[in-house]
Amino acid sequence: MKTPLIPDTQDVKWLLLDLILGLLRSRRSQQIIAKHGISPAKKAYQNLAILILSFFFCNEISYTVLEISKRRELQEFLKITTVPQASDVYRFMSSCSPESITSMTFDLLNLACSHKNRSRRKTIIIDSTAISVDLNWFRKKYTKKELENLPYRWSYSRSKKFYIGMKLTFAIDKKTLRPLAFIVHPGCPSDSVIFSEIMAELKRRRILRKMDEVLLDRGYYSYANYAEAIQKYHVIPLIIPKKGFSIAKLEKKVHFSLFWFGTKKGKEKIKELATIMDKFKRKIKDTENLIKERGIIETVFKCAKDILPFDDLHKYTAKSLEKAVAFNVLLLGLIITWKVRDKEDLQRIMRN
């Protein structure tokens, strides 16, 4: 039996949801929503509020709409005057592109975090997690050939073992724990292969800056990834090294263009890369500390799966899954922004 949705002003979760909905109703948020083509604003808020409520309490949209329609206090809490049909909410969500929902998500997070100090240089932690789709593959056997043209694949992970699904690559700021970017991949590609994609996404979103540190686990290990991060993006790639890693071998893969020599800008680039290499050499030696620092993103993933439906998304297309992930990233980011200062706060939220 599902829990009825009854607003409780004494409950921390309902108070937090009220803050989130208040942000959505603000004038600046309405401008952000409209900027991404999600309009008209009044109707957009109504549908977004229902979607947020649905994801926040891990319920289907149809059940959420039913609860709203029969509870006046819930309508007043959401501040909506008319209750749409569930089909209208599904239609609204399908009319929004994944790109618009994702861009809206990060713009709203930036708005919520605007009061926080943003240092010029930062450490970005990147990791991936498996997302399974809700297929009863015990009842019907799915072959690899049957899944060829679908966005999900037969895959394997240490946590889920064999599953049918996709893979989520996620980046957070080490200091604030705020989500910075994500990419959804069909199946379960190797982390070392998708390194270039997440780096390009961080650069596209203007998050990645020169001299930033990017912290990743051994799954992303490859000399090509170290070299790409240093040479192409001018950042410090703190990919936890495997046994046998050689600084000398990496230095042979980091090339200086001949056009740099003899020009002022070229000399600056050479000096910049030399500085990055010096910092990289110092930090990459302390493997134990890197492992400890990277562990925070595993806690963030665990928090996401414990309090939000990150691991129970009933979506079967790449677009619908990406939109669902975006809504969950928005909720997770706002929860972290307003309620979390460190790893202990995250663990306390999970216990509650």
Tens-place pLDDT, residues 75-131: 999 999 889 999 999 999 999 999 999 999 999 998 887 655 555 678 999 988 877
**Per-residue model confidence (pLDDT) at position 123:** 92
Q: How far apart are the first and last CA of the chain?
A: 21
> Residue 335's closest CA among 347, 346, 351?
346
Q: What is the pLDDT of residues 199-245, one digit of tens each?
A: 999 999 999 999 999 999 998 999 999 999 998 999 999 999 999 99
**Per-residue model confidence (pLDDT) at position 324:** 87
**Per-residue model confidence (pLDDT) at position 346:** 59
Q: What is the pLDDT of residues 164-184, one digit of tens each?
A: 677 889 999 988 888 999 988
pLDDT at 313 over 70: no
- Please compute the mean of the pLDDT values over residues 184-205 and round it to a whole number: 85
Query: Regarding predicted confidence, which is higher, 308 or 290?
Result: 290
**Beta-carbon contacts of residue 26 (< 8 Å; ≥ 6 apart):** none
Average pLDDT over the chain, rounded to whole? 83
One-letter identity of residue 139 = R
Name the pLDDT band for 320 (thresholds 50, 70, 90). confident
**Per-residue model confidence (pLDDT) at position 154:** 67
Question: Is the Cα dihedral 90, 94, 95, 99 positive or negative?
Answer: positive
Q: What is the pLDDT of residues 252-300, one digit of tens each?
A: 888 766 556 667 677 777 788 889 999 999 999 999 999 988 888 888 8
**Per-residue model confidence (pLDDT) at position 252:** 86
pLDDT at 136 over 60: no
Burial of 139 (0-12, 13-18, 19+ CB in 10 A): exposed
- DSSP E strands in 67-212: the ranges are 123-132, 153-157, 161-173, 179-186
Instruction: Please state the pTM of the whole predicted model.
Output: 0.84
Name the pLDDT band for 246 (thresholds 50, 70, 90). very high
What is the distance between the alpha carbons of residues 108 and 87, in angstroms, rounded to a whole number?
26
What is the distance between the alpha carbons of residues 245 and 76, in angstroms, rounded to a whole number?
60
Query: Regarding predicted confidence, which is higher, 63 or 144?
Result: 63
One-letter identity of residue 88 = D
Name the pLDDT band for 318 (thresholds 50, 70, 90). confident
**Per-residue model confidence (pLDDT) at position 297:** 86
**Beta-carbon contacts of residue 219 (< 8 Å; ≥ 6 apart):** 128, 190, 191, 192
